[in-house]
Structure 1
Amino acid sequence: MDTATTRDVAHAYVGTLERRDWAAFGALLDPDVVYEMPQSRERIRGRDAYLRFNQEYPGDWHLSVRHVVADGARAALWLDARVGDEPMIANVWLDVSDDGLVRRVTDVWPEPFEPPAGREHLVERYDAD
């Protein structure tokens, strides 16, 4: 897989989700796509189930790409996400087949947290972008 093509697929993946263009989104997915969320230990198998999962996802959610790194058939995405008024960060890993279809998705939704005490002398705090 060409890295530029993988990068284009990654941007199209997020763009079609954000626009709720379900036909275009489904066209990007391999029929046997596998989607996983490590935090909840959920797995979805197949294009139809994954498409329906996104169509039925609750809330007013939005996604935008902050950064994409592509290498061969794999892409890592850093996304700004929002559900309602709550901003979040998501990390998404995509595996793309030779024919340009997304065959595997791993979504990681890290929760922000306060750092532990005792390292203030080593770090500076910054505002999230």
Structure 2
Amino acid sequence: MTPDHHAIVRRFWSTANAANWDAFAALLSPDLVYEVPQTRERISGREGLVEFFRTWPGAWWAEVVKTIADAHSAVTVINFVTPTEQMTGITFFELREGTITRLTDYWPSDYDPPERASAVVQRY
């Protein structure tokens, strides 16, 4: 049976919103790679991405606006909401055997990434 990638990426955002980090981690491949080309940030590994999301400075919420998925990939458009702003985010997912192996985040609006309390972020 082919995994439902549409459901997997929706679950990615819902578990992140709920701060259910065990369920969030279960969706990720151990060798996952996450990149944000705009800010030249990269995170390697499941635990790194969980740490990155878990330690985001301040309250936030991702409202999924659109999801498109096929047999190997998916994309979501989100409203990323904090108490002081709202931004559009576009995330490209690569999936294999029911887990997310790669994410690439694009943010159409210019911004500087916030200071991070986590050491998992690499700059390239």
> Per-residue displacement from partner, 1:49-73 (whole Å, max 9, x unpaired)?
1111111111111101100011111
Residue 69 of structure 1 is matched in structure 2 by 68
TM score, norm. by length of structure 1? 0.81
RMSD between superposed Cα atoms in Å: 1.5
The reply on whether 1:7 has 2:10 as its aligned counterpart is no
How many residue pairs get aligned? The number is 110
Runs of 4+ in 1 over 2 A off after TM superposition: none
Whole-angstrom CA distance in 2 between matches of 1:81 and 1:41:
19
The reply on whether 1:109 has 2:107 as its aligned counterpart is yes
Q: CA deviation at 1:88?
A: 1.0
Determine helix, strand or coil for the equivalent of 1:84.
Answer: coil
> Per-residue displacement from partner, 1:38-96 (whole Å, max 9, x unpaired)?
11111100011111111111111110110001111100101011122311110001011
TM score, norm. by length of structure 2? 0.84
User: Which structure would you say has the larger RCO, counting Cα contacts within 8 Å and 6 or more residues apart?
Assistant: 2
Aligned pairs for 1:1-129 (under 5 A) are 2=2, 5-97=4-96, 99-111=97-109
Determine helix, strand or coil for the equivalent of 1:25.
Answer: helix
Determine helix, strand or coil for the equivalent of 1:53.
Answer: helix
Whole-angstrom CA distance in 2 between matches of 1:95 and 1:16:
18
Structure 2 alignment gaps of length 5 or more? 111-124
Bigger radius of gyration among the two:
1
Same amino acid, percent of matched pairs? 34
Structure 1 alignment gaps of length 5 or more? 113-129
